Amino acid sequence: MSAVRVVVADDQAAVREGLVALLGLLPGIEVVAEAADGPAALAAVARHRPDVVLLDLRMPGMDGIATTAQLSADHPATAVVILTSYADDGSVLAALAAGARGYLTKNAGRAEIGQAVTAAAAGLGALDPTVQERLVRAARIGQVPAELPDGLTTREAEVLALIAAGLSNHAIATRLRIEPATVKSHINRIFTKTGAEDRPGAIDYARRHGMSA
């Protein structure tokens, strides 16, 4: 069996070099290139056609979400595994929605990273346990009561529940597969109908009416 070919992308040189060295010690994995930002990662993938890109989430210029989306569109045969310090709901959901096949935090050990890379190359998902817990919790948020108060629509109640769960407008848009501008319109109507003046007020309303996890 041929080795899994990997591109490592991280803007921090020490981290990137450490990952290259770490992966180089694992059997069945070959690092074919490294990149310091999103555009460099795209160029490396176009040149080397790797099986997997191990990608940082926060990079200057073009972040990991945008890079993942571009890689998914241009190189669907190359799997993306996010390796980041961030495991908040918004980051996780946005990365997976953009097409990432795996999501690990930088607390992951050598064996976990190797397993994630190998799994992604085989078409399987690979998620950090912390990320799995967040996805389970995320699956429960956004649920709304059967009877809605103050003339709220089902969609407005979903947006309100996600606000109460701490998601940003961008994360809500990703979760509901709608445009950020549409989220803003929903929020304006939510404020009008509930009498809330700001997000804390809307969150308090959501909690009082059983719309928060």
Whole-number Å distance between alpha carbons of 210 and 213:
8
Encoded amino acid at 83, one letter: L
- The tens digit of pLDDT for each residue in 57-75 reads 988 889 999 999 999 999 9
| Fold classified for 142-208 | Arc Repressor Mutant, subunit A (1.10.10)
Locate 17 and state its tokens. 């070099």
- Residue 143's alpha-carbon distances to 35, 139, 161, in angstroms, are 41, 9, 7
DSSP state of 196: -
Q: At what angle do helices 169-176 and 180-194 cross, to 10 degrees?
A: 110
> CB of 50 within 8 A of CB of 33?
yes
Residue ranges of the chain assigned to CATH 1.10.10.10: 142-208
Stated pTM of the model: 0.66
Domain 4-136, architecture per CATH: 3-Layer(aba) Sandwich (3.40)
Has residue 9 got a pLDDT over 70? Answer: yes
- The tens digit of pLDDT for each residue in 199-211 reads 999 999 988 887 7
> CB of 19 within 8 A of CB of 8?
yes
Mean pLDDT, the chain, integer: 88
Task: Tell me what percent of the residues of the chain surpass a pLDDT of 90.
Answer: 54
- Residue labelled with tokens 């191990």: 54
Greater confidence, 135 or 49? 49
22-26, 88-92, 130-134, 194-198: least confident range? 130-134
Question: Cα-flanking dihedrals φ and ψ of residue 164, to 5°?
Answer: -65, -25
pLDDT for the residue 37: 94
pLDDT for the residue 121: 93
The DSSP string of 106-173 is TT--HHHHHHHHHHHHTT--EE-HHHHHHHHHHHHTT---SS-STT--HHHHHHHHHHHTT--HHHHH
Whole-number Å distance between alpha carbons of 31 and 21:
9
Residue ranges of the chain assigned to CATH 3.40.50.2300: 4-136
